Amino acid sequence: MPHEALVTFDRLRDAEAYSLEFFKERGYIRKKCRVCGEYFWTVNPDRDVCGESPCEEYKFVGRNLAKKKLDVRGSREVFLRFFEKRGHRIIKPYPVVARWRTDMFLTDASIVDFQPFVTSGIAPPPANPLVISQPCIRLVDVDKVGLTFGRHLTIFEMGGAHAFNYPDKEVYWKEDTVRYYHEFVREEYGIPEEEIIYKESIWSGGGNAGPCFETISYGLELATLVFMQYKTLDSGLIELPIRTVDTGYGIERFAWFSQGTPSCFDAIYGELYPKLEKIIELPKPDRKLLEAYSPYTALVTPKANQTIHEARRIVSERSGIPLEVIEREIIPLERIYALLDYTKSITFIISEGVVPSNVKVGYLARLLIRKAYRLLEFINSADKLVDLIDLQINYWARDFPHLEEIRNETIEIIESEINKFRETIKRGAAYVEREIKQLKTRMEELPTEFLVRMYDEKGLTPDFVKQIAEKMNLKISIPENFYELVASRHLKAVEAPTQDWIRILEEKVKNYPATKKLFYERPLEFNFKAKVLGTVDNYVILDQTLFYPTSGGQASDNGFLKWGDNRTRVTEAILLSGGVILHKVEGLIPPSGIEIEGELDRERRLRLMRHHTATHIILGAARRVLGKHAWQAGAEKEPDKARLDIYHHKRLTREDLEKIEHLANGIVMSRIPVIIKWMDRNEAEKIYGFTLYQGGEVPSAIIRVVEIPGWDAEACGGIHCESTEDVGLIKIVRTERIQEGVERLIFTAGTSTLPYIQENEKIISEASMMLETPSASILQKLQETINELRDLRRRYRSFIKIAAKYRAKELSIKSLEFDKLRIYVSREREDDKEYVFAISDELIGPPQPKCFIAVYGGEKPSILIVCNEEAQNLGLHAGELASKIASRIGGRAGGQSKLGQGVLQNDVDEEALRKIILEVIGEVLKG
């Protein structure tokens, strides 16, 4: 079948896709599970269930079925060495933060390391076949962690044995994949053949799909053997030219099976329990109770038509354990299991430079931290989160040394996030109350979307929101899968849609060849000759060009195209997806087929080059000053200035900036050559690691590496200086907090720095003249002036209080009365809010209900209304009064029940104001 042909998912359900010669050799037969209805392969003709829990309970718990007991480390080693002996090269694990991809944030399977570049044929694999034990993080089941005793984890190691089969090179496919698994579990774990079951299934993920076998023994799924051979499209499946063996051996599950412990957590963290007990109190239910409960734990998952409580009741019936015993003995243990899992995930994510925030992978890190913190609060151990993180680092650093290398940064970032969460909780009650009151429709029960909004906007956890809502006599039901719900909305990046005008241009130029990029060959040349291949609207297409197009955050070159006596200005160069570069021109458009001469704006190009190289230098400096978590979040290089956005958990200090500037300019003065080379992707990753991808993914087998030896190396397509000394003086002009967790550094380099320095000198000179003091004494003189101003303000406030007392006496004589209510009306010509408030303070004390209404200022005055508590109890609302009065006069106002404020569009005298107030107050009190 040609690989362009479309097929449907039904094709993956054909028995032919799962029928193997290996099964015939071993006497396996295909059967249908009487419980779940899925097909499976077994050597036991009497077996009528697939064997996977919950179709069948676990049968390995409390038994010594494996050849030997293994912890996670041992399980990993056995797996890797087995496949190494069979010709697979061991590959180091990739990071858990998938920075080499733009479509997802976390590595959730070993195949993610090789999608889409290897699986689609863009780049070769680092080895073929290969084997890897890849730490993975999945948050799709975050609310199930602990409940199922280890069936669900947020962090786990996936043992991946991968083979990539090309049209001209077959490595191995289904037969050998199943044969390897069979040998593995029989030889390494001693599982008898009658307990090795292969369940048919379909796998889809990362844009690919294929048939697969879920391998099951004693009720436990131990691995998934995927045969990835399709690309998924909206309309169906397309067969891939490269067929990939994608196996996922559960490293923790094999350890669990080998030990036969009640839970997978016991197998993963058992060695940690004595140290954990010194940090938090551990429940200690009877082991026999746990062994009786564990086989049925696959049932304890929240479902649309079944609550966790209902699921526990079913487990109680099947296991014979009273429900009250489960709730008393098991639930506290589930919380400990979840804490162990969450804190390990947090440790791995933060150690790779993630700063908790409300966006991208930072959102997911924050979710885990706050969920773990609230869980610790529930067991009265909220202050122990950092201790648990430290415990995880100590335990796992032996296998993953980077955890120890970045320990201090990890702890600091988590402590910072804890403090932010505490502040959020302090301020959160008032915010939630206000938002509930502002809901447009009255309701007895708050919707789930309200909980989601409170969490997404303010990081307020649903249990906290529930406490506030219940105080307001509102019901609220928290979905048992709440965190799975919110996480699912943030697991994948949202791809920015291609702009319509770009799509139109790409369609118009689709038949043109890619433009030859002379700017890589001759970056310091500014003139070239080229042939005009065609024109589209006011865009010119050349066969080759020196004009660098807008790309990678670097602005495009400008300049001119010349032919004969004609000259037209190039205002922008644009790179389209097919490799065609368009030259946008103003003026005459050269005819197709002629030869033109291109001329770049020399100074613009040089400034852009300096700013791009300076970006790499500053990033290297920032990572040394702030820490390895300071990854690039974005960058833009313009001729007059540039910006670099970096992840950081707190505001940059003046000291931070000075250190970064000092280091950056030291690199400039060191005259280090900037080395640019095209490298095999796998070789570059091996040498430089994944910090190569500071600027994001590079979809190519060969990548362009820009290296400042000993300082920085990145995959980069920009134009750079030949040496760091060519950059010139680097000056950080200012910083901004563009969003939580991201700091923006705006800087200049080389000749672009001069205008900034000159402008600062001008400001200093003018300040010196205004203060009548030498520039060196400006700060001292300014401090003296500020002190004098403060003294004057203090005296002014004293005079205001005296004046306000006299004015209050005048207003008391002219006050209005409505039964018990007294109203003071003031029209002040001075635009002085402080004075007006001082008058109010003199007038509206208890016990009589009082309201102070003032209009102050000139032609478009302001309005201020203050109602004391007694007036509010009569039904007066200052904000509503201000709104009504402003609408009569002309203007807008509003506010809270005590204080209303606004701005009027028309002037009003005191007599007219008193008349309007009488009308409005009368209407309010009658209503």
pLDDT, tens only, 718-775: 999 999 999 999 999 999 999 889 999 999 999 999 998 888 889 888 888 988 888 8
How far is it, in rounded angstroms, from Cα 523 to Cα 251? 50
372-to-450, 660, 819 alpha-carbon distances in Å: 22, 35, 58
Q: Is 55 helix (H, G, I), strand (E, B) or coil?
A: coil
In this predicted model, what pLDDT tens digit does every residue of 113-124 receive, in sequence order?
998 888 888 889
Q: Over pLDDT 90: what percentage of the chain?
A: 71
743-to-646, 647, 713, 728, 812 alpha-carbon distances in Å: 5, 6, 22, 24, 54
pLDDT at site 533: 96
Pairing of strands 742-749, 642-647: antiparallel
Highest mean pLDDT among 33-37, 489-493, 772-776, 903-907: 33-37
Closest CA to 896 of 907, 884, 882: 882
Q: Over pLDDT 70: what percentage of the chain?
A: 98
Highest mean pLDDT among 465-479, 646-660, 761-775: 646-660
Report residue 556: phi and psi, to 5°: -80, 165
How far is it, in rounded angstroms, from Cα 184 to Cα 254? 11
Pairing of strands 130-137, 89-90: parallel
In this predicted model, what pLDDT tens digit does every residue of 160-214 receive, in sequence order?
999 999 999 999 999 999 999 999 999 999 999 999 999 999 988 777 889 999 9
How far is it, in rounded angstroms, from Cα 867 to Cα 840? 9
CA angle 667, 669, 670 (to 5 degrees): 60
* Beta bridge mates, 209: 204, 230
623-to-14, 409, 643, 671 alpha-carbon distances in Å: 53, 11, 16, 20
249-to-145, 254, 282 alpha-carbon distances in Å: 19, 8, 31
Confidence of residue 705 (pLDDT cuts 50, 70, 90): very high
pLDDT at site 109: 93
Residue 397 · residue 404 · CB < 8 Å? yes
Confidence of residue 3 (pLDDT cuts 50, 70, 90): very low
Q: Which residues, including other chains, have CB under 8 Å from residue 846's CB and lie 6 or more apart?
A: 868, 869, 870
Confidence of residue 1 (pLDDT cuts 50, 70, 90): very low
Q: How far apart are the first and last CA of the chain?
A: 80
Q: Which residues, including other chains, have CB under 8 Å from residue 582's CB and lie 6 or more apart?
A: 505, 509, 536, 539, 540, 541, 549, 573, 574, 576
CA angle 4, 209, 88 (to 5 degrees): 105
- Over residues 622-626, mean pLDDT: 96
- Over residues 457-463, mean pLDDT: 86
Q: Which residues, including other chains, have CB under 8 Å from residue 118's CB and lie 6 or more apart?
A: 124, 125, 164, 242, 244
Q: Evaluate if residue 927 carries a pLDDT over 90.
A: no
Instruction: Identify residue 789 by its one-letter amino acid code.
Output: L
Higher confidence at residue 872 or residue 218? Answer: 218
Closest CA to 280 of 422, 382, 393: 382
In this predicted model, what pLDDT tens digit does every residue of 255-281 receive, in sequence order?
999 999 999 999 999 999 999 999 999
Residue 454 · residue 482 · CB < 8 Å? no
Closest CA to 297 of 346, 256, 355: 256
Q: What is the pTM of this model?
A: 0.85
pLDDT at site 468: 87
